[in-house]
Each structure stands twice: as structure tokens, then as C-alpha cells.
Amino acid sequence: MAGRIPTIHPLINSLMPKALPDTSPESHMNKPESTPPAHFLRQIVQADLQSGKHSQIVTRFPPEPNGYLHIGHAKSICLNFGLAQEFGGVCHLRFDDTNPAKEEQEYIDAIKADVQWLGFQWHGDVRYASDYFDQLHAWAIELIKAGKAYVCDLTPEQAREYRGNLTEPGKNSPFRDRSVEENLDLFARMTAGEFPDGAKALRAKIDMAAPNMNLRDPILYRIRHAHHHQTGDKWCIYPSYDFTHGQSDAIEGISHSICTLEFEDHRPLYEWFLENLPVPARPRQYEFARLNLNYTVTSKRKLKLLVDEGHVDGWDDPRLSTLSAFRRRGYTPASIREFCERIGVTRSDAVVDMGMLEFCIRDDLDNNASRAMCVLRPLKVTITNYPEGQVENLTLPRHPKQDMGNRTLPFSRELYIDQDDYMVDPPKGYKRLVPGGEVRLRGSYVIRADEAVTDAEGNIIELLCSYDPDTLGKNPEGRKVKGVIHWVPAAESVECEVRLYDRLFKTPNPDKGEEGATFLDNINPDSLVVLKGCRAEPSLATATPEERFQFEREGYFCADSKDSRPNHLVFNRTVTLRDSWGQ
């Protein structure tokens, strides 16, 4: 067993796609009903159920509570919970809480909220690896009694030296041949708190010459005098991830233990523990390729650095790759689930284009977000031939195709348009207002720009226009008006703040830069532009946190979940109407 090469389920080789899937958004844009990519795990589960190997599928999602979940975790959540749903099984949520120094209740609460927000519910109570600490400790004693574990006094530096490397075998610890009695005594004293952190470790006795370095006498327990968020101060020794994971799966009766490819080399150790302990079940580990998304970082260390150094405003800053950030930005659970289904499940590493994720949210919001108008950079317009004091209440649909009802927009003498919708010297193809030119106001009349009012510096501060009263809902007589622009009434519009979010990094691979540069040097300085004094149509006054809209001609936006309130509206841009990065 010591040098065993990880085995692969017989179906995996036959079911793996021969080439990487096309992950560009364009590959899906003309497919009204996209077929899910080849999914080898789905077929493995189906085969196991049909053969009677398992009567029910039991999966688990086992995050470490040492940070917020990111978009890569979404793939694992959708896979584990999705397989259980599809085949009538159950999925557990279990926190692998074996490193209390880096874990916090804040992360536990956030992870639970993210899983539920994505639309999934775990089976039974939330589980913790720490629920099994007593059983794991008892099993460690069994390994000692069987001569398969020993207490080692090597320092971490010495242990690394003794371990060898990929081309050279390791060498046995000088403490490897301690007697069972001495090991039991030392382990009991470790448990009682007699030794300081790092003084000793309990290691499995496997094979220091194994080609797989994970089998070179791995650590089972370390001394850590740390308060635990679940067990308090009961323990001052904590089990390693490898010693905890497979046994926790066995205790819970997990049928398919699904993890990412970096754990493939850990599978022989996973199985060694199961073979050498009286576990109640024999789960099987399977691996899939993790989600790599360009223009982002998902490393918890790098995310924490961005937060701690103030490059972003917290773990839910809408520019980050965390699920709480995507939620705050306005992404929907359905769009993320669809994204995870589109990219498929394979054993081949690939980088997915951010444009694919943006395509999924555009497609969702195009169908489901109500329409509204918001002027980001207001320019006052006075319609000189419109009767003073008169107000018309125009009715506009909330969605051009879906039945979402209507909204009322007052039309009167004074209104706002966007500054970019009037130019004195426009470029070729410009179809908005120009001196003496006409445009249609969305859902309203055709107006003509008659005169621009400027300030002392020559900046245009107001347009004097005239309207054609015979153009409400119909084209003007004898002429064509091509341009349509959005607008809001001056008196009835509400002031708001709009935050224009963009990709946090300038290049697809943030880690790739000039020599000596870090991913921080790749931060996009235009990833956030804050606009104050914007003017929104009256229907937006009642926008609730996380409510999503298409601001006509501007993009998709949502009311900010933290800062937006009735007397201070704040909208976050979720995504632009079109992909500007792919151009």
C-alpha cells in the first residue's frame, strides 16, 4: 500500500471528454437550450446506484471555516448538493474545523448563509469535524496500540529534512521505534497539555520511502494550545486534515467523497486510514478539476490581504470573488448555478473566461429584472413650449416581454437627460441630441435641442428644447427620428448614488506581471467609480436591498444591501449591458 499509485474509477477514463470544453461565452450565446457538458461524476453515481453498490447517495460539502466562500466553492456546492438532489440522496454540510487559530464564528455564519442563498439545504443539523474529536482520539490510540503510530519529537524543520523530496526517499525519525507503552504515555501527556506547541506530534508509521510523499509518516496530531469555537478549551491537541477527513466521511456514511484534484495524491492516505481503522463505512474519494476564473484571485491568503490592506472594502466588496461579494453586486443564485452547470465537471484543469459568468447573469437579468431609468450624469432640460405647471403621467411597462406590471413616469416642463446624450461636435454615427437635432425620449415625446446654456467656464449646464406634442406613441410626420434616450422628471426624480463596479484586475492572470511585481500591482484603478447626485425615476424610490433592475441604456444594477436606504439610495452596477472587455 505504501507506494500505491492512486486508482481511478473504471468509468472515469472512459467518460472523460477527449478535449477541453469551450468555456468562452460566445460558444453558448446561440444555444437556446444548452446541453450540460459531459459529467463523469454524474455517470459514476448513476452506475453505482444501478449496480446496487449504494442504495442512496450521500455527499458532503466540507469547507474550512477560515474565510468566506468564493466562486470556486460554488462549483463544489452545486456539484455535491446537485448530485444528491438529482439522485434522491442527501448532502451534509460539515465544517472541517481542525485549525482553531484561523477559524471564526463569522466565517461559519457566512458559509451557511451562502449555501442557503445558492438555493441548497443540507441534510439534518450542521456537522463539525470537532463532533468526532473523541472518536478520532480513540482511533489514534488504536493505531498506537497496533504499532502503526508513534510520538515524534522532531521539530518542523527537522521533519521536513527527514521527509526527503520527490526524487529522494525520506529517512526514519529517530523516534520511530519507540515502544507502544512509551507512545501511549507520551500521547496521553500531549493530550493533558504537558508539552508546549510544536514540541511533539503523533505520526502514522507507514513508509518513509514511499513515492507518494503523503505516505511518509504523516502527522495525525499536533499540539496547539488554542481555544476552539465549538469545543472550547477541552483539547490542546488537534487532528490533521488528512486524519480527520476520511474518518468523518465514514462516520457520516458518505458514499461519494468529492473533492478537487489537489487532493488526488492524498487518496492513498485517505484509504490507508480506512483500511487500518474499524470505521463504520468505506466511502470512496473522487476528484474533479477546480474552477479557475480569469481576472480574479480565489486564494484565501490573497483575498485576506486585499481586505486587510484596504484595497477593497471588506469580504463582501462587490469586486471580490467571494459569494457574498457576488450577492452584494447583484448576481443571482440562478445565474451562478447556471454558470457552474455550463462549465461542466472534468478532470482537466482549464481557465474559464469571466465573460462566461457575466453572460449568465446578463441572460438571467434580461429575463427577470424590471426596467427603470436612471440618469447617471444629469443635464437639465427645459422644454420651452410645454405648458408651465402641467404634468402628464405616462405609463411604461416594467419589462418589455414579461408581465411585471407598469410604472408611472410624470412628464413635465423640466427633466434630466445624461450629459453624454448631447454633443456639439459629435462623432460619426452619433444618434443622440445635437444642436438643432431631434431624439425621442423613451416612452415619451420627440424633442429638439434649440439652445445650450453655459456657465462662465463654457460648460453646458442646461438645454433649452422644444417638444412635438403629436409624437406620443407615434412617429413624427414627414421625418425620421432615429435616436432614443432615457430621461427622468426633474421634480419627481429621486437623488441616488451609483457605484460603477468593474473587474478588480487589469489582466486575465493577476499573478502574471513584470519581474518583482505582485498581483496587487495588477489592480484595476477603474474597478470602482462612485457617482453622486444621480437622478432616478420615482419608481426606484422604494427599491429594497438586493432588488435588481435594468437601468435602460446603462446596465444591470441592484440596490446595495448594506448602504442603500429610503432616504439614501445606493445602486451597484452588476454588469454592463454588453461585454466591453471582449472587444
Task: Convert the pLDDT of each residue in 517-547 to its tens digit.
Answer: 899 999 999 999 999 999 999 999 999 999 9
pLDDT tens-digit map of 279-333: 999 999 999 999 999 999 999 999 999 999 999 999 999 999 999 999 999 999 9
Mean pLDDT for all residues in the chain = 92
500 neighbors 518 (Cβ within 8 angstroms) = no
470 neighbors 476 (Cβ within 8 angstroms) = yes
Q: Dihedral angle at the C-alpha atoms of 426, 428, 432, 438, nearest 10 degrees?
A: 90
pLDDT tens-digit map of 443-500: 999 999 999 999 999 999 999 999 999 999 898 988 999 899 999 999 999 999 999 9
Ranges of beta strands (E only) in 385-537 are: 392-397, 406-411, 414-418, 438-441, 446-454, 460-468, 484-485, 488-489, 494-501, 528-536
157 is catalytic: no
pLDDT tens-digit map of 142-165: 999 999 999 999 999 999 999 999
64 is catalytic: yes
Radius of gyration of the chain from Cα atoms?
31
Nearest to 325 by CA among 73, 580, 579, 64: 73
**List 224, 290, 377, 553, catalytic entry:** 290
What is the per-residue pLDDT for 384? 97
> In three state form, how does the secondary structure of 333-387 look?
HHHHHHHHHHHCECCCCCEECHHHHHHHHHHHHHHHCEEECEECCEEEEEECCCC
Between CA 276 and CA 282 the distance in angstroms is 11
Q: Is the pLDDT of residue 33 over 80?
A: no
Amino acid at 292: N
What is the per-residue pLDDT for 388? 94
User: Helices 180-192 and 133-145 meet at what angle, rounded to 10?
Assistant: 160
Burial class (CB in 10 A: 0-12, 13-18, 19+), 389: exposed
Q: How confident is the model at residue 8 (pLDDT cuts 50, 70, 90)?
A: very low
Cell 474550512, located at residue: 64
CATH match for 375-491 among 2.40.240.10, 1.10.287.70, 1.50.10.20, 2.40.50.150: 2.40.240.10
Could you list the residues known to form a binding site for L-glutamine, using ranges.
96, 241
Q: Domain extents for the chain?
A: 24-293+330-359, 375-491
Between CA 274 and CA 265 the distance in angstroms is 16
162 neighbors 208 (Cβ within 8 angstroms) = yes
What is the per-residue pLDDT for 11? 41
Between CA 466 and CA 438 the distance in angstroms is 9
Q: Is the pLDDT of residue 117 over 80?
A: yes
CATH match for 24-293+330-359 among 3.20.20.70, 2.60.40.420, 3.40.50.620, 3.20.20.140: 3.40.50.620
pLDDT tens-digit map of 183-241: 999 999 999 999 999 999 999 999 999 999 999 999 999 999 999 999 999 999 999 99
The pLDDT of 425-434, averaged and rounded, is: 93
581 neighbors 524 (Cβ within 8 angstroms) = no
What is the per-residue pLDDT for 581? 58
Contacts with 238 (C-beta within 8 Å, 6 or more apart), sequence order: 98, 99, 100, 221, 222, 224, 226, 228
The pLDDT of 98-107, averaged and rounded, is: 95
State the DSSP code for 404.
-
Q: Is the pLDDT of residue 19 over 60?
A: no
What is the per-residue pLDDT for 3? 38
375 neighbors 416 (Cβ within 8 angstroms) = yes
Q: Is the pLDDT of residue 18 over 70?
A: no
What is the per-residue pLDDT for 513? 75
What is the maximum alpha-carbon separation in the chain?
Answer: 103
Q: Is the pLDDT of residue 15 over 70?
A: no
Within 10 angstroms of residue 198's Cβ, the number of other Cβ atoms is 11
Q: Phi and psi for 392 in degrees, rounded to 5?
A: -110, 135
**List 4, 42, 64, 224, catalytic entry:** 64
Could you list the residues known to form a binding site for ATP, using ranges.
64-66, 70-76, 260, 290-291
Between CA 346 and CA 260 the distance in angstroms is 10
Between CA 101 and CA 531 the distance in angstroms is 41
Q: Which residues pair with 91 in a beta bridge?
A: 59
Could you list the residues known to form a binding site, using ranges.
64-66, 70-76, 96, 241, 260, 290-291
Contacts with 173 (C-beta within 8 Å, 6 or more apart), sequence order: 150, 152, 154, 159, 162, 203, 208, 217
Between CA 25 and CA 13 the distance in angstroms is 28
Q: Is the pLDDT of residue 56 over 80?
A: yes
Give the rounded distance of the alpha carbon of 353 from its chain centre: 14
Q: Which residue has the higher pLDDT, 8 or 497?
A: 497
**List 102, 112, 300, 431, catalytic entry:** 300
pTM listed for this prediction: 0.89
Q: Is the pLDDT of residue 23 over 50?
A: no
271 is catalytic: no
Q: Is the pLDDT of residue 26 over 80?
A: no
Q: Phi and psi for 67 in degrees, rounded to 5?
A: 175, 180
Burial class (CB in 10 A: 0-12, 13-18, 19+), 41: buried
Q: How confident is the model at residue 25 (pLDDT cuts 50, 70, 90)?
A: very low
Q: Is the pLDDT of residue 382 over 70?
A: yes
Q: Which residues pair with 529 in a beta bridge?
A: 500
| Beta-strand relationship, 219-223 and 201-204 | antiparallel
